[in-house]
Amino acid sequence: MRVLMFGWEFPPHIAGGLGTACYGIVKGLANNGVETLFVMPSASGDEDQTYTRILNASDVEVSDVVKNPKEFLERVQFLRVGTNMVPYMDPAKFTEMSSKDQRSQIDDFKVNFKQKYKFSGKYGTNLMEEISRYAMVGGEIASQHKDEFDVIHAHDWLTYMAGIAAKRISGKPLVIHVHATEFDRTGENVNTQVFAIEQMGMREADKVITVSNLTRNIVVNKYGINPDKVVTVHNAVDFAGREQMVVERSVDEKVVTFLGRITFQKGPEYFIEAANKVLKKCPDVRFVMAGSGDLLNRSIRQVARLGISDRFHFTGFLRGADVQKMFAYSDVYVMPSVSEPFGISPLEAMITGVPTIISKQSGVAEVLKYSIKVDFWDVDALADAMYGLLRYPALSQMAAEKGYDEVNALKWDHAAAKMKHIYESTLK
């Protein structure tokens, strides 16, 4: 089995969790005997290629499709940027204009695409242009390497267009992998352009993989996708080679930690409210909110208003080793997310031996037994759970020990085996 895989980033240069997950997936697939050819917009050359071949889209010269651009363009019509919606125009004029537009697009295509395009591979302002061009290159790669893969696998909306282009050119089945949806990122203020790309990817795909049942429900209900083709494969983690960090604690009190982006999605206000309730019962606890985000300032004001700022600390954005240091500093880790497709960070806490509390509205809640689960809005339940883990050693010890074993059992090899089945089902 050979897979043409489209990603956006790959370790060591990662901005979010997607790159780490992709690495785990290709490694797990390799252990299951599945070969992958991993395409990314901008590779640096220092990526670990033990488990996959990396293809840098910035190095690909678009030549095959240029031989017959008209045919190519017909197949990937969806890629046309721009609109023909012009007001106050009679039909004759409109036809004239749109055919002219089409001719110029072919010319433009010949000129622009018979060359390499240097992708930034970041999440910048010309993201929409980058993903369109990435799709062009995706089509080219599918054509050049036609005989080297059986299935196409695309990760998250940035790569869906590339996946679709590859499918249209090669005729091979497409699997798309939903790590997060626009609803998770923005609540209800969905960017319609992103939504449209996501929905198109889901509709074109032969199978859709979601990272949790929570996400699967969103895909089925909000994007209107046939449930029969949507399958959940929970994420795993790979903590191999990670050394336990020993830190010297300098505060006597127990520390309860929130670590992540301080945004609506992560539910920081519920953490603060619960902290306030706990501090009323036992003042000898410290709370830490680590991270940065658009709700940081509001959170600081909330803490000041409650008058608990001598017990509630902010660290700002933490980098590299400081993240591990923060986990090692903690006695309880809390993730009160309002909506979380999966959520890797509680697993990092657990591998450090820290008991966790997670919201029922997170995908990771579906795979964890030894984590206390509460509704994100139920501040009383959250405060109860914090108090219990702080005050009853039997509880926190069990959560720490069993939690550690539980996380170690989450293997990418298992997840990859499920993916292999899904690939096979598309070839039948």
Partner 1 sequence: MKPSICLYFQVHQPDRLRQYRFFDIGKDSHYFDDFSNRTILRRVAEKCYLPMNAIMLENIQKFGKSFKIAYSISGSAIEQFEKYAPEVLDSFKALAATGCVEFLAETYTHSLASLVSKDEFKKQVELHSKTIEKHFGKKPKCFRNTELIYSDEIGEMVYKLGFKGILTEGAKHILGWKSPNYVYSNANNPKMKVLLRNFTLSDDIAFRFSDKGWNEWPMDCDKFASWVQDQASKDEIINLFMDYETFGEHQSAASGIFDFMRALPQTLLEKTDLEFVTPSEAIKKHEAVSPINVPFSISWADEERDTSAWLGNELQNEAFSKLYDLSDRVLALQDDKITKDYMKLQESDHFYYMCTKFFSDGAVHTYFNPYDTPYEAFINYMNVLSDLIIRIERKLRLG
Q: How many CA atoms lie less than 13 Å away from 148 in the CB half-sphere?
A: 13
Query: What is the C-alpha separation between 115 and 72, in angstroms, rounded?
Result: 16
- Kindly state the smallest distance separating residue 246's Cβ from partner 1, in Å: 14
Q: Residue 277 or 313: which CB sits closer to partner 1?
A: 313
Crossing angle of helices 157-170 and 192-204, in 10° steps, is 40
E strand residue ranges, 223-327: 230-232, 254-259, 285-290, 312-316
- Kindly state the smallest distance separating residue 321's Cβ from partner 1, in Å: 11
Query: What is the C-alpha separation between 416 and 233, in angstroms, rounded?
Result: 9
CB atoms closer than 10 angstroms to residue 297? 10
- Kindly state the smallest distance separating residue 283's Cβ from partner 1, in Å: 11
Q: Residue 92 or 251: which CB sits closer to partner 1?
A: 251
Q: Residue 9 or 269: which CB sits closer to partner 1?
A: 269
Q: Residue 83 or 244: which CB sits closer to partner 1?
A: 244
- Kindly state the smallest distance separating residue 304's Cβ from partner 1, in Å: 4
Q: Residue 253 or 378: which CB sits closer to partner 1?
A: 253
Q: Residue 187 or 316: which CB sits closer to partner 1?
A: 316
Q: Is 383 helix (H, G, I), strand (E, B) or coil?
A: helix
CB atoms closer than 10 angstroms to residue 75? 16
- Kindly state the smallest distance separating residue 315's Cβ from partner 1, in Å: 4
Q: Residue 325 or 418: which CB sits closer to partner 1?
A: 325
Query: What is the C-alpha separation between 136 and 44, in angstroms, rounded?
Result: 21
- Kindly state the smallest distance separating residue 300's Cβ from partner 1, in Å: 5
Q: Would you mind telling me the total number of residues written for the chain in this entry? A: 428
Tokens, residue 186? 């923005």
- Kindly state the smallest distance separating residue 253's Cβ from partner 1, in Å: 9
Q: Residue 58 or 315: which CB sits closer to partner 1?
A: 315
**Contacts with partner 1, residue ranges (CB under 8 A):** 248, 250-252, 288, 290, 296-297, 300-301, 303-305, 307, 309-310, 313-316, 322, 325, 329
Spell out the alpha helix ranges (H) of 47-156.
Answer: 69-75, 91-113, 127-144
Place of tokens 């309730």: 277
Query: What is the C-alpha separation between 332 and 254, in angstroms, rounded?
Result: 8
- Kindly state the smallest distance separating residue 311's Cβ from partner 1, in Å: 8
Q: How many CA atoms lie less than 13 Å away from 220 in the CB half-sphere?
A: 15
- Kindly state the smallest distance separating residue 293's Cβ from partner 1, in Å: 12
Query: What is the C-alpha separation between 223 and 205, in angstroms, rounded?
Result: 13
Residue 340 is given by DSSP the state B
CB 9 within 8 A of CB 400: no
Q: Residue 253 or 366: which CB sits closer to partner 1?
A: 253
Tokens, residue 96? 């004239």
Estimate the share of the chain in helix, then strand, then coil, as percent rounded to the nearest 5.
50, 15, 35
* CA–CA distances in Å: residue 45 to residues 29, 35, 40, 59: 22, 20, 11, 11
Q: Residue 201 or 291: which CB sits closer to partner 1?
A: 291
Query: What is the C-alpha separation between 217 and 232, in angstroms, rounded?
Result: 10
- Kindly state the smallest distance separating residue 281's Cβ from partner 1, in Å: 19
